[in-house]
Amino acid sequence: MKFGIFYEHQLPRPWAADSEYQLFQDSLTQIELADRLGYHYAWEVEHHFLEEYSHSPSPEVFLGAASQRTKNIRLGHGIVQLTTNHPARVAEKIATLDLLSNGRVELGLGEGASVTELHPFNLRFRDKRLVWEDAVRCTLPMFWNHGWEYHGPFYDFPLRAIIPKPKQKPHPPLWVACSQLDTIKYAAHRGMGALCFKFVDLAAARAWVNAYYHSFLDDQEKLTDYATNPNIAVVAGFMCCETDEEAWRKADGWTFFQFALQLYNKEGPFKPGSVSIWEKYEAWKTTPEGQARSGSELIGSPATIRARLRELAASHVDQVILLNQAGKNKHEDICASLELFAREVMPKFVADEPAHQQWKDAVLRREIVLDHIDTDPFNTRSRLKLSQPPSAEVRDMIAGAVGRPRSSTID
Partner 1 sequence: MQTLVLVPGLLCDERLWSHQTRYLGDVAHCLVPDAGTANSISGLAESVLAQAPPKFALAGLSMGGIIAHAIMALAPERVERLALISTTARADTAEQTSRRQRLIEMTEQGRFAEVTPLLVPALLHPTRQDDAMLTGQLLSMATRIGPATFLRHVHAIIGRPDRRVQLAAYAVPTLVLVGREDAITTLEMHEEMAQAIPHARLAVIEECGHISTLERPHAVTALMRLWLTG
- Binding span for partner 1 by CB under 8 A among 3-11, 106-114, 222-230, 289-297: 222-230
**CA max distance for the chain:** 60
Residue 173: cis peptide before it, omega within 30 degrees of 0? no
Q: Which of 22, 72, 102, 224 binds partner 1 (CB under 8 A)?
A: 224
- Binding span for partner 1 by CB under 8 A among 58-66, 71-79, 224-232, 251-259: 224-232
Task: Fill in the DSSP letter of residue 159.
Answer: E
State in angstroms the smallest separation of the CB of 178 from partner 1. 20
State in angstroms the smallest separation of the CB of 367 from partner 1. 8
Give the C-alpha separation, 240 to 173, whole Å: 29
Instruction: Examine residue 212 and tell whether it contacts partner 1 (CB under 8 A).
Output: no
Cβ neighbours of residue 388 closer than 8 Å, sequence gap 6 or more: 267
- Binding span for partner 1 by CB under 8 A among 87-95, 154-162, 365-373, 392-400: 365-373
Instruction: Examine residue 170 and tell whether it contacts partner 1 (CB under 8 A).
Output: yes
Counting other chains too, the contacts that 390-396 makes at CB distance below 8 Å and 24 or more residues apart are 390/267, 390/268, 390/269, 393/271, 394/269, 394/270, 394/271
- Binding span for partner 1 by CB under 8 A among 322-330, 359-367, 376-384, 403-411: 359-367
State in angstroms the smallest separation of the CB of 319 from partner 1. 18
Residue type, 287: T
Give the C-alpha separation, 312 to 182, whole Å: 18
Q: Are 37 and 336 in contact (CB under 8 A)?
A: no
Question: Closest CB to partner 1 among 145 and 407?
Answer: 145
Q: Which of 19, 96, 228, 379 binds partner 1 (CB under 8 A)?
A: 228
State in angstroms the smallest separation of the CB of 164 from partner 1. 16
- Binding span for partner 1 by CB under 8 A among 5-13, 49-57, 94-102, 214-222: 214-222
Question: Closest CB to partner 1 among 137 and 250?
Answer: 137
Instruction: Examine residue 359 and tell whether it contacts partner 1 (CB under 8 A).
Output: no
Residue count (the chain): 411
Give me the DSSP letters along 97-116. Answer: HHHHTTS-EEEEEE--SSHH
Instruction: Examine residue 154 and tell whether it contacts partner 1 (CB under 8 A).
Output: no
Give the C-alpha separation, 160 to 163, whole Å: 9
Instruction: Examine residue 146 and tell whether it contacts partner 1 (CB under 8 A).
Output: yes
State in angstroms the smallest separation of the CB of 203 from partner 1. 28
Torsional sign, CA 376, 378, 384, 390: negative
Instruction: Examine residue 270 and tell whether it contacts partner 1 (CB under 8 A).
Output: no
Tell me how far apart the terminal alpha carbons of the chain are, to the nearest angstrom. Answer: 40
Q: Are 325 and 24 in contact (CB under 8 A)?
A: no
Instruction: Examine residue 145 and tell whether it contacts partner 1 (CB under 8 A).
Output: yes
- Binding span for partner 1 by CB under 8 A among 88-96, 225-233, 245-253, 394-402: 225-233
Q: Which of 230, 268, 269, 300 binds partner 1 (CB under 8 A)?
A: 230
Give the C-alpha separation, 312 to 309, whole Å: 5
Report the interface residues with partner 1, using CB under 8 A: 144-146, 169-170, 216-217, 222, 224-225, 227-228, 230, 360-361, 364-367
